[in-house]
Amino acid sequence: MSKLKKRKDGRYAKQVTVGVKNGKPIKKTVYGRTIKEVEEKYAELTNLINKGVSLDYKTSNVSSILDEWYRIRIFPNVNPNTQKRYYYFIKAAKEYIGEMKVQDVKKYTIESMFDEIKKRGNASAHDYLMLTKKFFNYAVENDLIYKNPCNGISIQYAPKQKRLLTKEEIKKIEDCDLKRKDKAFLYVLRYTGMRIGEVLALNKADINRADLTISINKTVVSTKGPTHVQDRAKTDAGNRIMPIFLPLIKPLFDYIDNLPDEQEKLFLSNVDKLYSPTAGARLFKRIIKECGIIDSELTPHYLRHNFISECYKAGIDIKKVQTWVGHADIQTTLNIYTHLEKEVVQDGSDMDEFYGSQAEVKSKLKAIK
């Protein structure tokens, strides 16, 4: 039986024989801040050895430890869909760092790895980083390394510039002969700037026909379990009252008037279930495709951006727009304003009544020259 020792740094340590090489035992030391922590690690390693798991980490590369991590910690505890997710991650990790010793993997190694992953346009980079951190946490727990090399690393992408709807796309939406539900759904997104989860959470009772307003106070979420309605908005600012503008009135009320009396939720799937945000985005894609708009990057959030931009063009006070769209910080609204089409920002005709027309200014400049 191995003896428990207390080190000068205050930690406890205990050795475990993890294998034999050239007739000599291979020792591994487990450490802990408390005796209980050390004994738990010792018992875990002893159990793995009894099961025939190879723990000769000093001569093992990342690939072999990834396999053992997956076999010991992941495979018994996740469903088949999640197993597939880990399979693709491990395949990618082995390609970049598989032949290295785990002790040799440094922060710059991980940064270089994810720089290459991003260059390849891998949409799973964020997820892969999370799993890489998880793997190296396992290495830290087993005293292979003292510090996770992923600490302080994040995936940074240049944000995609959200564009406005073109005049042609707007005309296609207005001219398209959509089903009542599809038209109401698309027009709510188009003329309110609501988030997709907020639209999917709407009840008929949230629509005030007398005041022509929409009460926004909840959102649909699908994290941590099945899709459900979260009885609060994304932020406190998300709880708000939104006007119903003229283009939305007819399609919205025409749709509501044809809903079954017993249906409380405004938008339900064909099997009377809540849409998840992902399913709602797919519904949006189908509808705009039916309108003749083919753009793989166009999402419901682009319509939110477009609505804010149209409010800018209409000269709506920015504080009012902030309230309508539920931005907690006015800087978020301002940032959208500053990314508008160049010609919109440069057009100073709305200030003519204050400073004189730009045409007059230009003529005077010509005269000076």
Helix (H) or strand (E) holding 87, with range, is helix 80-97
Compute the mean pLDDT over every residue in the chain, rounded to the nearest whole number. Answer: 82
CA distance 299 to 151: 33
Reply yes or no on whether the pLDDT at 11 is more than 90: no
Categorize the per-residue pLDDT at 241 as very low, low, confident or very high, splitting at 50, 70 and 90: very high
User: What percent of the chain has a predicted confidence (pLDDT) above 70?
Assistant: 80
> CB-based contacts of 172: which residues, under 8 Å, 6+ apart?
291, 292, 293
Structure tokens at 333: 């609204």
Lowest mean pLDDT among 12-26, 93-107, 140-154, 340-354: 340-354
Type of residue found at 152: G
Reply yes or no on whether the pLDDT at 363 is more than 70: no
Lowest mean pLDDT among 51-55, 171-175, 299-303, 310-314: 51-55
Identify which has the larger pLDDT, 4 or 298.
Answer: 298
Contact 106, 62 (CB under 8 A): no
Structure tokens at 179: 């089903």
Reply yes or no on whether the pLDDT at 143 is more than 80: no
> Beta-carbon neighbour count of residue 54 at 10 Å?
15
pLDDT, position 122: 60
Reply yes or no on whether the pLDDT at 22 is more than 70: no
pLDDT, position 360: 56
pLDDT (average), residues 33-62: 70
pLDDT (average), residues 245-268: 95
Identify which has the larger pLDDT, 302 or 366.
Answer: 302
Structure tokens at 293: 């708009």
pLDDT, position 105: 92
Buried b (16+ CB within 10 A) or exposed e, 6-18: eeeeeebbbebeb
At the fourth CATH level, the homologous superfamily of domain 167-338 is: Intergrase catalytic core (1.10.443.10)
> Beta-carbon neighbour count of residue 366 at 10 Å?
8
Q: Which of 55-64, 103-112, 232-241, 359-368 holds the top average pLDDT?
A: 103-112
Q: Options 3.40.50.150, 1.10.150.130, 3.40.50.300, 2.60.40.1930; which CATH number does 60-158 get?
A: 1.10.150.130
pLDDT, position 218: 92
Reply yes or no on whether the pLDDT at 204 is more than 70: yes
Categorize the per-residue pLDDT at 50 as very low, low, confident or very high, splitting at 50, 70 and 90: low
pLDDT (average), residues 208-225: 87
pLDDT (average), residues 312-341: 82
- Give, in degrees to the nearest 5, the angle at Cα 325 between 323 and 329: 65
What letter does residue 102 receive in the DSSP assignment?
A: G
Domain ranges of the chain: 1-56, 60-158, 167-338
Tens of pLDDT along 258-277?
Answer: 999 999 999 999 888 999 99
CA distance 86 to 128: 9
Categorize the per-residue pLDDT at 107 as very low, low, confident or very high, splitting at 50, 70 and 90: very high
User: What percent of the chain has a predicted confidence (pLDDT) above 90?
Assistant: 39
CA distance 230 to 222: 10
pLDDT, position 362: 54
Residue 299 exposure: Cα atoms within 13 Å on the Cβ side: 13
Tens of pLDDT along 285-294?
Answer: 999 999 999 8
Structure tokens at 230: 């979260």
DSSP letters of 123-157? TTHHHHHHHHHHHHHHHHHTTS-SS-TTTT-----
pLDDT (average), residues 190-202: 94
Lowest mean pLDDT among 7-11, 19-23, 226-230, 263-267: 19-23
> CB-based contacts of 328: which residues, under 8 Å, 6+ apart?
235, 236, 237, 238
β-bridge partners, 240: 216
